[in-house]
Structure 1
């Protein structure tokens, strides 16, 4: 910059009069102290400010703007002090206004940036220039204020800068941040000369909003227009490929990057890694990872996620242990990877390790471990984590509230789920939906419907998930007519067209009620191709009600869609077994063996004193196995004394001898778990059991009698719902 007018100022004399101005070089001894403002701290800035006030330098707009820049953009800026300094400048030039507006837009008070912009318009002789507008637009983007940004856009149109690409690029980002991609596209289309930033802004916006085809189409147009993409472009394009899961296109993009000699910086390599992981090409990801000369925590964490997704748990654990540094993001990847891939025990063990590390769990960690507790039915661990949330001052936001309600509900502690729900004043639709789901899985259909009505009174609009939960509540509660009524009102009343899940729930409602032909007609007349889950629900209902004819139809449809669905074969086999058609049972088992399919073994688990115990059918591996079987014999004898008779129809094997039938049924995993619960806990402690399959009628009868004879409260969560046994009754009212 050329020399500027500042007062004539002998450094050791009193300040001159207002008219004593002459041209001084820009390297004035005091001003040169501001040249390297990146090395100045707040105290030093204040010292320079004091010297400039002493020699009347601060009254000159140029000198004041130099100090203002240093104050706002030093390594640790004192923004309130800098703003006070700005307010003391007698006649701030436009550069000073821009510095102040920019600093606040990038700080934690973007509202002050907009206030300064408003003051510039009303109190200053200057008009905004091509730098002012983007800073103000950025502030509106940070605050997501569509009307403010639109007003600034209107001023841009009236200004001499209406075609400035720098300003228009900022408006593309603004409209994208506000979720209005159509307006962002309109701004883009009206830019006379687009630069690479213009294309990148819109491509990135489309990729982030999951308009993936639009993002890729823009990339193609960018090439056609002769604009060379850069690494920023390719990061967004790779993101779109990864989200689409299009490995072939992703590989082409990788080749394009090499061919175009785009610098493969760390950020770009991480984007390529992420694309390969999301496209489930772990080998390509591993090959790139090995070639990378520079890696950061994102690189390592991406590979960790990839290994976990491919169930390479040992490789993932070794990779985690080899990471140079492990931040909370890496811990979250490990814990969430275990939890999402059916390894809840390992997830809780990793969380325990995290407690002893230098990292601190965040909300993502807590949500993952609560989900792991839900899978295990580990209410003790879940309660400890709830206490941890309170002790460590976590904000009980919607996400955490939903996770806690879900954990307590799935662990069988519905009363605590209700307490969490009632303890929060602000509830979004997901919190309401989670509590409705809790009532549904516990068979409290009427309470679920009452809560839904309460939700409507609070003017909370239901989502498709809410209505799925309502239909599930009707299914588990036997509320057939209520379910049909809600199903018929979905589109006209709630403007939510029924989807596959809703039709599946409706088929389940009819099937459980024994209205099998009606359920079949509903599935066959669905407006979309019926999914395997709908036919599976019908087949399960046929097993319960013993309808072989419809069951065979449902099985055939199910296996056409999913030929390797072992559950479909097992259900049909059970249906044949109940009907005494043992030759058909043998035929199905032979087919399963030939295809390498195995029936899932029944497994029941319960938590005592913070330790999870698991039992398989006929299990003898538990350290207290001898005592468990002694208790089981005693239990059987006491139940027979009060009239218990084995439901031999529940034995799905061709056994002729009645004693052998009884013995086989006594080895069911939930009976072993009940026996262990009786010897390891005492009343009034509830025996809480989780089973991976549907509880059979014989075990259901045994649990009811045990609850009366032993005066114990028993809770069993099977694959579909909860059963609470108390004083000889079950909460399902024998409807499950």
Structure 2
């Protein structure tokens, strides 16, 4: 892609610029028929034929005729910028009008940088100096690439050309500075305009609204009224956007009434802005009333309503709106898929994706693929994720950093680390998120040393780590007991890399120290935190206390955790486990009673397994599966083989909930991961690994059983729990029992 040096001010230009007016030669009267045919041209083929005739007759070399042909090539309904560029390059001496047309054409193109490069070429080649018609298009191009240095350089040229008082140029500068995020400069330009028109006010209001200053946008709207400037629909779109950002429903309602009172034309754009304001402010009822009254609706109207219902978790209403659409476009499908995926409903997200495939009414785009890959990651649905990967290849979709990151994340979370590494190594571009995703993948699979090696390579590649990188790196140290390395990276974060440690980093550090038995140091670190410890920080300490049986610290951690999150069932379960492990039965009984009083229930264990692209879920003691009898028969066989191999159920994992000895063993055997393993042994071929995803931490008894099953049945079992992966093979686990 072309690049642009921002030092435009130093570029050569005519030392004695002519008068700054549009220069265009008089039309030739010798070929009026050809000029008329150019105006009537309806396709590129005919235009090229006229071009050939003009070359043969010599008419093309007349500035007016050439400019007319060029303008049609650049701006007609069948325009081709590539062809327009070729036409321009053959014009012997392009006049100022033609240069301006060329700059304007590319300023509105998907790659506005070419407009700036043409402008630079003009400064070198043209005898004419840029005029008041040139600069607005050049400024528009600078806004398109959001380059502040380029904007400042062009502004300097505007001042040198004595055009800073031109209203059209000034309005363009306001928009450009706002697009570059420099609202101070935009406002200075605004203040210097003597006679502001409605475009000046609109540019500034929209700039403030979109630039994170909604209060200033609303203040400016009130000033606009005081100065008796009549707003139009563009003004009101900007004001409504500010209301959406400020989350001011009451003022937003007042604005809607203002629009009606003042008779401002309610076109589709303005109606959609009102709809968006209501949805962003959480008033789906107001949004629905407006939506039902709208005579004209487009994809924005429909998707805004779908998004509004989805964010309110009213998925039935969201789907109702979706199915009422005359022909759902891909944007609507994306909103629904994303809503399910982001609200913890990945199965439903994949269901909608499958429906999209069957409907064939729209083609998945990058947004579709990213949301669906994320849903696959949550479920461990590697078959569907792999299908998407193949689809990307077949469709020739270029793997940008977003898709690369999502594929690495999907394969990592679905248990195929080698495939994730293949994606990483084959990527042409690797930004900080691609590197961070790969470090995260290595971390969750217990490859701590490899994660650190990747961090070193990342720095060698001159990619600066960010907050996410360090969360993943510290997690890698935690899962593999790399205490000294964890301390080093944590201490270097701010001093060496300029990344201020946040809650997630402190949680990781407490986990690193606690898992390794440095409980007092972990507790001291919490006391020294410059930010208020979160539930996750105390939860990490509580989990470490469970591993090492420290009752005193566990009670402190649990107390602090429940103060922050009183309904956290995990805290009760962990402390109850610790009490049971140390024989404090009064404590177990007290916690169970407290859970009953407050209506707190332990989250049920749930394990899922994908077979032939279908996700099968199992709860503790589940008997709802169609082949439930066959699964339990297989489970009996597994238990018998385990006992023959010397397996003894570890009943301590159910002490806090089950008291009878004969029921303890039964409860352990009904754990969801054991049911999923039994199903996998039935349905998957001998060479296929059994991939399971569990919503909770795998218990010690299931961990021991899985190791033995992998040896007795000669099967690889890849189990992902809430915190990490366990690869069971040949009677061993990749975690080396450090988890």
Using structure 2 for the length normalisation, give the TM-score: 0.89
Show the counterpart of 2:3. none
In structure 2, C-alpha distance between the alignment counterparts of 1:731 and 1:8, rounded to whole Å: 86
Which of 426, 435, 452 is equivalent to 2:438? 435
Q: CA separation in 2, counterparts of 1:66 and 1:220?
A: 46
Give distance in 1, aligned partners of 2:702 and 2:335.
Answer: 39
Q: CA deviation at 1:464?
A: 0.6
Note the 1:512-591 alignment, pairs <5 A: 512-591=515-594
Other-structure match for 2:714: 711
Q: Helix, strand or coil for the counterpart of 2:521?
A: helix
Q: Find the aligned partners of 2:600 and 2:408 in 1 and give their Cα distance.
A: 36
Which stretch of structure 1 is more off in the superposition, 545-554 or 392-401? Answer: 545-554
Q: Describe the shift of the 1:264–1:424 C-alpha distance in structure 2 as closer, same or farther (beyond 3 A).
A: same
Q: Which residue of 2 aligns with 1:351?
A: 353
Partner Cα distance (1:458, 1:91) in 2:
47
Q: Quick check: 1:582–1:654 contact (8 Å CA) kept in 2?
A: no
Contact 1:39–1:74, Cα closer than 8 Å, also in 2 = no
Change (3 A) 1:532 1:194: farther
Shift of 1:231: 2.3
SS, match of residue 274 in structure 2: helix
**In 2: Cα distance, 1:38 partner to 1:569 partner:** 80
Give the counterpart of 2:168 among 159, 166, 169. 166
Displacement of 1:473 in angstroms is: 0.8
| 1:289-342: CA deviation from partner (whole Å, max 9, x where unpaired) | 112222111111111112222222222222211101211111111211221122
Using the alignment, how far apart are the partners of 1:733 and 1:395 within structure 2?
39
Task: Name the structure 2 match of 1:476.
Answer: 479
1:380 aligns with 2:383: yes
* Structure 1 position 322 matched with structure 2 position 324: yes
2:104 is the alignment partner of 1:141: no
**Post-superposition CA distance 1:202-239 (Å, at most 9, x none):** 33334434344454454455445544433223323333
Report which stretch shifted further, 136-145 or 48-57. Answer: 48-57
Query: Is 1:627–2:630 an aligned residue pair?
Result: yes
SS of the residue 2:266 aligns to: coil
SS where residue 615 of structure 1 aligns?
Answer: strand
Give the corresponding residue for 1:19: none
Task: Give 1:530 deviation, angstroms.
Answer: 1.6
Given candidates 185, 193, 203, the residue that maps to 2:195 is: 193
The range that moved more, 465-474 or 351-360, is 351-360
Deviates more, 1:50-59 or 1:238-247: 50-59
Q: Which runs of 5+ in 2 are unaligned?
A: 1-21
Q: Which residue of 1 aligns with 2:12?
A: none
Counterparts of 1:555 and 1:212, CA distance in 2: 42
Change (3 A) 1:495 1:627: same
Shift of 1:624: 2.3
8 Å contact from structure 1 (residues 439, 445) kept in 2: yes
Task: Say if 1:479 and 1:679 are closer, same or farther in 2 by CA, change over 3 A.
Answer: same
In structure 1, the residue corresponding to 2:130 is in which secondary structure?
Answer: coil
Per the alignment, in what secondary structure is the counterpart of residue 422 of structure 1? helix
1:327-373 deviation digits (Å, cap 9, x = unpaired): 11111112112211222222222222222313111111111111111
- The answer as to whether partners of 1:307 and 1:316 remain within 8 angstroms in 2 is yes
Kindly indicate whether the alpha-carbon contact (under 8 Å) linking 2:707 and 2:728 is maintained by their aligned counterparts in 1: yes
**Distance (Å, rounded) in 2 between the aligned partners of 1:333 and 1:416:** 29
Partner of 2:648: 645
For 2:223 and 2:579, locate their aligned partners in 1 and report how far apart those are by CA, in whole Å. 61
Q: Is 339-348 or 430-439 further displaced after alignment?
A: 339-348
Residue in 2 that maps onto 1:424 = 427
- Which one of the candidate residues 511, 516, 540 is aligned to 2:514? 511
CA shift, 1:540, in A, is 2.6
Tell me the SS of whatever aligns to 1:151.
helix
Provide the residue aligned with 1:98 in structure 2.
Answer: 100
Greater alpha carbon shift after TM alignment, 238-247 vs 710-719: 238-247
2:286 alignment counterpart: 284
Aligned-partner SS, 1:612: strand
Query: RCO greater where, 1 or 2, for CA within 8 Å and sep 6 or more?
Result: 2
Of the three residues 241, 262, 266, the one matched with 1:264 is 266
Change (3 A) 1:218 1:728: farther
Structural mapping, 1:61-80, within 5 Å? 65=67, 68-80=70-82
Corresponding residue number in structure 1 for 2:670? 667
In 2, the alpha carbon distance for the partners of 1:586 and 1:250 equals 54
Count of residue pairs brought into register by the alignment:
716
Greater CA drift, 615-624 or 392-401:
615-624
Q: Partners in 1 of 2:580 and 2:505 — Cα distance?
A: 31
Aligned CA RMSD, in angstroms, stands at 3.0
Q: Answer whether contact 1:6 1:57 (CA < 8 A) is retained.
A: no
The structure-2 alpha-carbon separation of the partners of 1:169 and 1:717, relative to structure 1 and needing over 3 Å to count, comes to same
1:692·1:718 contact (CA, 8 Å) conserved in 2? Answer: yes
Distance 2:52 2:258 in 1: 57
Contact 2:25-2:63 at 8 Å conserved across structures: no
Equivalent residue number for residue 401 of structure 2: 398
1:731 aligns with 2:731: no
* Structure-2 residue corresponding to 1:450: 453
Matches of 1:4 and 1:430, distance apart in 2? 55
Q: TM-score, normalised by structure 1?
A: 0.89
Measured after TM superposition, the shift of residue 654 of structure 1 is: 5.2
In 2, distance between residues paired with 1:91 and 1:437? 59
Q: What is the CA deviation profile of residues 242-292 of structure 1, one whole-angstrom value per residue up to 9, with x for unaligned ones?
A: 344444443344344344443322112212222222333222222221122
Judged with a 3 Å threshold, the aligned counterparts in structure 2 of structure 1 residues 512 and 256 are, in CA distance, closer, same or farther, namely farther
Q: How many angstroms apart in 2 are the aligned matches of 1:5 and 1:454?
A: 64
